[in-house]
Structures are given as structure tokens and as C-alpha cells.
Amino acid sequence: MERTFVMVKPDGVQRGVIGSIINRFEQKGFKLNAIKLMSIDHALAEEHYRDLRMKPFFGELVDYLTSGSVCAMIWEGPNAVANARALIGKTNPVEASPGTIRGDYAMDVASNIVHGSDSPESARREIGLFFDQELPMNPIMGFMQGEPSAETLH
């Protein structure tokens, strides 16, 4: 079982499609492990996308990510990283196939609605950046960070 970090970016939160995106991950078979709505400052946005710091659009990317709330999530499943990337679609919505999240919800590379980790190593790093608590694997159902697991509720 693998974990990946997924984030609905500010344009996705603003447009009210968090639920639709969660629905796609659940339909695919992912289990939600943690979720929180939060705002991110420039330091976190720069650290999150540090591999892109030399790109000409880096400043624009950081401004975009800090322009409003994001929804940070941890999803679990077999090959979670690769399965999430397939569900999300290509970086540029122009190239993303219909049926993928970016193919169906976005038009512009500068506001492409959702982020997904690009490797298991990136997923571990990003989960550590956005979530300060390591949560146990939960094979039954996802749960909110910091809340009791399904077992302790019964």
C-alpha cells in the first residue's frame, strides 16, 4: 500500500469542486487518510515546488498557490502515486485527456486545479511538509487528521 499527497489548488477550492475531485478518488478506489482546508504562505509554496525554482514561471506559480485556500489530502492505495497522476491527467489541460480531472475541469496550465506527487519520495516529503502528524494506515475508511479512527468510534 502506498500514499500520495494531493492538493486541490486555490482555483479548485474557489470553483467549489473539492467534492467532485474527492468523488473521483473514491470512485477509483483510493482511501482517504487525511484532509484539511488551509492557506499556505510563500515559504511553504516555495518549498513545496522547490524543484521548479529556476523556472521562469516560479513567481507566478507561488502567487497562484498562495492566492486562496487549498485542500490538502493524503490518499492511500496500491501504486497510489502513479494512479493519482493518471486520474489527474497531464500538466497542461490542453493535453490532458477528457476523463481526467485536468481534462475535465481546467483550461490553462497556470491554473490546473489539482496537484499530485510525482514519486513515492516526493509524496513522503510533501506529506511531511503539509501534515505534521503521521497517521496509521486505515484499511477500512479514511478519517480526518487528529480525529479518532473508525475503530475507536464503535
Is 9 labelled as part of a ligand binding site? yes
**Residues touching Mg ion, count (CB under 5 A):** 1
Q: Which of residues 13-72 bind ligand GTP (CB under 6 A)?
A: 52, 57, 60-61
- Write a three-state SS string for the chain: CEEEEEEECHHHHHCCCHHHHHHHHHHHCCEEEEEEEECCCHHHHHHHCHHHCCCCCHHHHHHHHCCCCEEEEEEEECCHHHHHHHHHCCCCCCCCCECEHHHHHCCECCECCEEECCCHHHHHHHHHHHCCCCCCCCCCCCCCCCCCCHHHHC
Partner that binds at residue 109, options ligand GTP, Mg ion, none, CB closer than 5 to 8 Å by kind: ligand GTP
Nearer to Mg ion, 104 or 118 (CB): 118
Is 102 labelled as part of a ligand binding site? yes
Based on the residue annotation, tell me whether 115 is a catalytic residue of this protein: yes
Q: Which of residues 106-145 bind ligand GTP (CB under 6 A)?
A: 109-110, 112, 115-116, 118
Catalytic residue numbers, as ranges: 115
Rule CB under 5 A: which residues touch Mg ion? 118
